[in-house]
Amino acid sequence: MFIDPHIHVTSRTTDDYEAMRKSGIVAIIEPAFWLGQPRTKVGSFQDYFSSLVGWERFRAKQFGIYHYCTIGLNSKEANNEALAEQVMDLLPLYVGKEGVVAIGEIGYDDQTAAEDRFYRLQLEMAKEVNLPVMIHTPHRDKKRGTTRSMDVSEEHGLKPGMVIVDHNNEETVKEVLDRGYWAAFTIYPHTKMGSERMVEIVRQYGPERIIVDSAADWGISDPLAVPKTAALMKEKGIPEEHIKLTCYQNALTAYGQSGQMDEQDWLEAEPIDQRQKLGGNSILRGGQTPKVEGSSSDIVEN
Ligand SMILES: [Zn+2]
């Protein structure tokens, strides 16, 4: 069993869902983020958040995958301050919903004053509602942005154990682990942070507080990055127990602190029944035969 604790499945297809389930992914976390182009109305954020706790959660379940999400204002769109303020008013309506396991992904992109302001406001919110935080570290000036993310989080009194720092690399991992944070790694295909490098990091630092994810979205990315990395770890002689921690258990322990994510959800899952509807809508198109499992132990056939 695998968990992919960072994937934007709203942008992915049903083929992806089927392949993920077949590869052993039982649960996923979809962080609220930006959509490739800036939103212009607060209503677009509202409908997006509603789909994360509603339709997408339902859709995943039709393929035997348990869907959780994080809610937050992403750093990029924090730079539209007038809109960002309206989004902040919206967040309290969503952070307490079923399946919301963290505030995120928040943090810095270009490390502007506006990003800093909304990052801090959301750290306060996380503290108030006692949810973990998922931090998106910047792709540019990463080392400094990562250090700053942790400094500011501590300034606001968050415990490192409640904070998952994502998009790490060899440059940032040591400091993140030394300071007591969860260190997540996004495996991007055809880049520096591929599966090969991940194996070496686990070999060097061990499995404690390290989390592997795909961050697959609408860009060039791989929704099977977690199971593929796990397979490579096995091939390279990483102990089974370390693979389980980094590709399953650590994510569950970190985000389970929300009280919203429990292994029993999928261990005692109801059988897949694609005849189900949400708000009158199903995933079926005209004439298709729904998949209906005889029992929860059945494997989904593709
Ligand atoms: Zn993301």
CA of 274 to the centre of ligand 1 (A): 28
CA of 36 to the centre of ligand 1 (A): 11
pLDDT given at position 300: 52
pLDDT given at position 294: 74
Rounded to the nearest 5°, which phi and psi values hold at 90? -80, -35
The model's pLDDT over 278-300, given as tens digits with 9 standing for 90+, comes to 988 999 988 888 999 874 444 55
| 269 vs 299: CA distance, rounded Å | 12
CA of 153 to the centre of ligand 1 (A): 19
CA of 220 to the centre of ligand 1 (A): 13
pLDDT given at position 74: 97
pLDDT given at position 297: 44
CA of 105 to the centre of ligand 1 (A): 7
Query: Which token pair is 282?
Result: 């199903």
pLDDT given at position 57: 97
CA of 296 to the centre of ligand 1 (A): 30
Over its C-alpha atoms, the chain yields an Rg (Å, rounded) of 19
The model's pLDDT over 61-99, given as tens digits with 9 standing for 90+, comes to 999 999 999 999 999 999 999 999 999 999 999 999 999
CA of 92 to the centre of ligand 1 (A): 21
CA of 43 to the centre of ligand 1 (A): 21
- What is the total residue count of the chain? 302
| 73 vs 114: CA distance, rounded Å | 12
Strand order in the sheet with 25-31: 2-4, 25-31, 66-71, 100-107, 133-136, 163-166, 182-186, 210-213
User: What is the 8-class DSSP label of residue 288?
Assistant: P
Q: What is the residue whose two structure tokens read 């261990």? A: 267
CA of 294 to the centre of ligand 1 (A): 35
The tens-digit pLDDT sequence of the chain (302 residues) is: 999 999 999 999 999 999 999 999 999 999 999 999 999 999 999 999 999 999 999 999 999 999 999 999 999 999 999 999 999 999 999 999 999 999 999 999 999 999 999 999 999 999 999 999 999 999 899 999 999 999 999 999 999 999 999 999 999 999 999 999 999 999 988 876 789 999 999 999 999 999 999 999 999 999 999 999 999 999 999 999 999 999 999 999 999 999 999 999 999 988 899 999 998 899 998 888 899 987 444 455 55
Contacts 24+ apart (CB under 8 A), 288-297: 291/62, 293/64, 295/271, 296/268, 296/269, 296/270, 296/271
| 101 vs 118: CA distance, rounded Å | 19
pLDDT given at position 302: 52
Secondary structure string (H, E, C) spanning 115-142: HHHHHHHHHHHHHHHCCCEEEECCCCCH
CA of 104 to the centre of ligand 1 (A): 9
| 36 vs 290: CA distance, rounded Å | 33
pLDDT given at position 47: 98
| 295 vs 270: CA distance, rounded Å | 8
Is the entire prediction scored with pTM above 0.85? yes
